[in-house]
């Protein structure tokens, strides 16, 4: 399992990075990105704090990456913040997409996909065909999520991505120990979203592709 969207107590998660990473490792996770919720006020604190967790990679036998999830930032400012985060040392930048269970500003999905500094658009809700097609062109990965609520539109996202050829990944958006999953459960989530076994395998390969870029 590779999980590229998780949260610690540096935003609204429950665990310090050490316990968060250790618990993920016991689920068979071999690479994890901690991507706490960020805006212009806290992104530097989050990135600098999470980068320190990398000293535990060898002991826990897991690749550790530090990033942020840009959350409820006005669409017109997403690219600017994503660029600043990468320049400050973020390994990965995710944008909190237009999930149907939160009042995310319209245009957030498009702004994330258009930014060259954004790696993954998380739980993009009722993603449009046009945005999915653009995500393919910009090589922005779209998320199938294990997170309750956000996962209501997994089927729509998977169908739209399949029609356009956009790349999918599967992440937990874990905030607490009970949110963590095994690779077997990730398969269930992907195939439950309407993907074939071959398409689910492709999603795992896409996560591996991101990891190789970050190393």
Q: Residue 90's CB: how many other CB atoms inside 10 A?
A: 27
Phi (first) and psi of residue 95, to 5 degrees: -115, 135
Q: What is the CA radius of gyration of the chain?
A: 15
CA distances from residue 168 to 40, 154, 201 in whole angstroms, order as listed:
28, 11, 10
Only one residue has tokens 């739209």, namely 160
Residue 9 structure tokens? 């107590």
* Total tally of structural domains belonging to the chain: 1
Structure-derived torsion over alpha carbons of residues 186, 187, 192, 193, reported in degrees to the nearest 10: 70
Summarize pLDDT for 65-90 with one digit per residue, the tens. 999 999 999 999 999 999 999 999 99
Is the separation of the CB atoms in 143 and 120 below 8 Å? Answer: yes
CATH number assigned to the domain comprising residue 79:
3.20.20.140
What is residue 105's DSSP assignment? Answer: P
Residues with Cβ within 8 Å of 199's Cβ and at least 6 positions away in sequence, in order, are 158, 162, 168, 190
> What is the structure's pLDDT at 215?
85
Q: Tens digit of pLDDT per residue, the chain (215 long)?
A: 999 999 999 999 999 999 999 999 999 999 999 999 999 999 999 999 999 999 999 999 999 999 999 999 999 999 999 999 999 999 999 999 999 999 999 999 999 999 999 999 999 999 999 999 999 999 999 999 999 999 999 999 999 999 999 999 999 999 999 999 999 999 999 999 999 999 999 999 999 999 999 98
Domain with 62 in it: 2-214
């Amino acid at each position: 399992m590779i999980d590229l969207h998780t949260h610690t107590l540096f935003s609204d998660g429950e665990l310090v990075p050490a316990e968060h990473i250790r618990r993920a490792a016991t689920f068979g996770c071999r690479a994890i990105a901690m991507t706490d919720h960020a805006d212009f006020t806290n992104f530097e604190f989050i990135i600098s704090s999470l980068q320190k967790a990398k000293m535990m990679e060898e002991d826990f036998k897991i690749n550790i990456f530090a990033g942020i999830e840009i959350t409820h930032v006005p669409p017109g400012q997403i690219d600017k913040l994503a660029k600043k985060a990468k320049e400050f040392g973020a390994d990965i930048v995710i944008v909190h997409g237009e999930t149907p269970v939160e009042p995310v500003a319209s245009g957030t999905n498009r702004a994330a996909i258009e930014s060259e500094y954004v790696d993954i658009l998380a739980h993009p809700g009722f993603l449009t065909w046009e945005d999915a097609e653009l995500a393919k062109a910009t090589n922005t990965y779209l998320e199938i999520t294990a997170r309750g609520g956000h996962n209501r539109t997994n089927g729509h996202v998977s169908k739209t991505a399949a029609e356009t050829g956009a790349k999918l990944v599967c992440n937990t958006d874990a905030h607490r120990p009970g949110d963590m999953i095994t690779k077997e459960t990730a398969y269930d989530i992907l195939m439950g979203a309407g993907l074939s076994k071959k398409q689910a395998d492709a999603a795992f390969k896409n996560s591996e592709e991101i990891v190789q870029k970050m190393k």
